[in-house]
């Protein structure tokens, strides 16, 4: 392995400044930075030292430690890794791994890049460190060694957590380190698809699929973080890294990164990345803007159940199976219920993720009568949800989606 790129990053001391905490109401503009990939010279800096929620940019460090384990001979691309209940129960973007199954390390690493798979990230963490918590400590230690002075990790996925924080400046440091320290694995970031079972799954990274000369890297999204992107590209013999954190929509994220990259190939070099100031403040929470309908956030997909009572008639870990069961129950019960609307809701349970099939928008007497009849056959066949419980189901899903990393 070549000497660590952190030597370049550490060329000058990193400064720390104080800044007043930002609030969601301030709607701060995205933080961004571009750097020359060969020299580490900063080409543009837009509040790159402002603390931010990393979301799935976190997985860049998960990948770094995975590549490191391979380079040190502690694992190989063919190493089978077990899928625990915790890994299988991850929400957000996943491969749908089942508890007790195995996946090759190489497949899991590719799933992080192409699909931002949270279940694969936790499986990797547990295999390499024994637990996700231990792996997160290793991630933070490695960040310090690389010169990522404002970064602390508390998980392998990017799920929002207190103290799980970084800056655009630090993510640029990590992107440069990945490019320099693991050139043999760098082409993985340009992957536009992956085979999983009989399916070909496309990348979730719009930059790598659309920008001329893109070398890829990583997207990230949660409601508090907004839309993040670390991007790498080359043109006319010059290579650059761009990081955008806190965009309010996918299109804005892609447009900003593309614009920054276009300027980077014409920009004169500035100071080294090590001279970029990391601020000391709380990261802004963009949830109200990104996920409450004003910013086009993906989390608006939480089902809005009609008013009234509901019954739960299907449930399980496999969403497709719950959907099939729910459709069958609706066809069977529609006349007796006098109507109703179906919805599949998320129910996190003990660290695992389950789906519940609901028929909502019912009159109280219909819901209670039909559910009692179903429970005479099997007490687990049906559960009645009065209106407050229906509201609670929507709120549970909304809160879960706010934390789900992509």
* Share in percent of the chain as helix, strand, coil (round to 5): 40, 25, 35
6, 59, 86, 218: which is the annotated catalytic residue?
A: 59
For residue 116, indicate whether it is catalytic: yes
Determine which one of 6, 116, 287, 404 is catalytic: 116
**Catalytic-residue membership of 59:** yes
Task: Answer yes or no: CATH 3.30.420.10 is held by domain 6-290.
Answer: no
What mean pLDDT is reported for the chain? 87
Instruction: Quote the pLDDT of residue 268.
Output: 86
Is residue 134 predicted with pLDDT exceeding 50?
yes
Q: What is the DSSP letter of 298?
A: G
Task: Report the alpha-carbon distance of residue 19 to residue 13 in Å, rounded.
Answer: 19
353 versus 157: the higher-pLDDT residue is 157
Mean pLDDT of 137-144: 98
Pair 214, 203: CB distance under 8 Å? no
Q: What is the pLDDT of residue 44?
A: 95
The total number of residues written for the chain in this structure: 406
Residue 2: per-residue pLDDT: 47
The ranges assigned to domains in the chain are 6-290, 302-403
In this prediction, residues 60-72 reach a mean pLDDT of 98
Give the tens place of pLDDT for each residue, 170-200. 999 999 999 999 999 999 999 999 999 888 8
- Tens-digit pLDDT profile for residues 322-347: 999 999 999 999 999 999 999 998 87
23-40 pLDDT, tens digit each? 434 568 999 999 999 999
Q: What is the pLDDT of residues 340-379, one digit of tens each?
A: 999 998 877 655 668 899 999 999 999 999 999 998 888 8
Report CA-CA distances (Å) from 189 to 159, 216, 364.
21, 5, 53
Q: Phi then psi for 117, rounded to 5 degrees?
A: -75, 115
Give the integer Cα–Cα distance in Å for 358 and 223: 26
Higher-confidence position of 121 and 296:
121
Rg over CA atoms, the chain: 23
* pLDDT for residue 400 is more than 50: yes
Least reliable range by pLDDT among 53-57, 156-160, 259-263, 270-274: 270-274
Q: Is 56 labeled as catalytic in the residue annotation?
A: yes
Which of 6, 56, 84, 258 is an active site residue? Answer: 56
Query: Is the CB of residue 43 less than 8 Å from the CB of residue 269?
Result: yes
Fold annotation for 302-403: Alpha-Beta Plaits (3.30.70)
**321 contact partners, CB below 8 Å, separation of at least 6:** none
pLDDT above 50: residue 294: no
């Amino acid at each position: 392995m070549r000497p660590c790129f952190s030597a370049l990053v550490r060329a000058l001391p990193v400064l720390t400044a104080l800044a007043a905490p930002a609030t969601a109401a301030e709607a701060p503009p995205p933080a961004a930075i571009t750097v020359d990939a060969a020299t580490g010279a900063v080409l543009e800096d837009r509040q790159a030292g402002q603390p931010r929620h990393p979301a799935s940019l976190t997985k860049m460090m998960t990948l770094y430690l995975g590549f490191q384990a391979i380079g040190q001979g502690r694992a190989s691309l063919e190493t089978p890794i077990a899928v625990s209940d915790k890994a299988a129960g991850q929400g957000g973007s996943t491969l749908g791994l089942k508890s007790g199954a195995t996946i090759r390390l190489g497949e899991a690493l590719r799933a992080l890049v192409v699909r931002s798979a949270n279940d694969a990230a936790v499986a990797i963490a547990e295999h390499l460190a024994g637990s996700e918590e231990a792996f997160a400590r290793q991630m933070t230690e490695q960040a310090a060694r690389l010169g990522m002075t404002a970064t602390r990790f508390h998980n392998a996925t990017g799920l929002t957590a207190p103290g799980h924080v970084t800056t655009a400046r630090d993510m640029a440091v990590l992107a440069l380190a990945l490019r320099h320290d693991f050139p043999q694995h760098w082409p993985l970031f340009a992957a536009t698809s992956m085979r999983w079972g009989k399916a070909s799954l496309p990348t979730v990274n719009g930059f790598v699929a659309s920008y001329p000369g893109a070398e890829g890297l990583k997207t990230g999204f949660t409601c508090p973080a907004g839309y993040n992107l670390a991007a790498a590209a080359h043109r006319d013999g010059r290579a650059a890294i761009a990081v955008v954190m806190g965009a309010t929509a996918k299109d804005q994220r892609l447009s900003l990164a593309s614009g920054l990259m276009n300027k980077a190939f014409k920009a004169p070099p500035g100071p080294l990345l090590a001279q970029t100031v990391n601020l000391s403040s709380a990261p802004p929470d963009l949830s109200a803007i990104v996920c409450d309908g004003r910013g086009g956030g993906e989390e608006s997909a939480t089902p809005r159940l009609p008013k009234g009572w509901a019954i739960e008639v299907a449930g399980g870990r496999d969403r497709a199976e719950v959907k099939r069961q729910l459709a069958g129950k609706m066809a069977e019960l529609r006349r007796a219920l006098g109507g109703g609307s179906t919805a599949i809701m998320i129910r996190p349970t003990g660290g695992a993720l389950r789906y519940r099939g609901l028929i909502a928008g019912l009159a109280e007497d219909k819901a209670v009568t039909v559910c009692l009849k179903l429970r005479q056959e099997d007490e687990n066949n049906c559960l009645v949800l009065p209106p407050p419980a229906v509201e609670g189901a929507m709120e549970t899903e909304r809160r879960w989606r706010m934390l789900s990393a992509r």
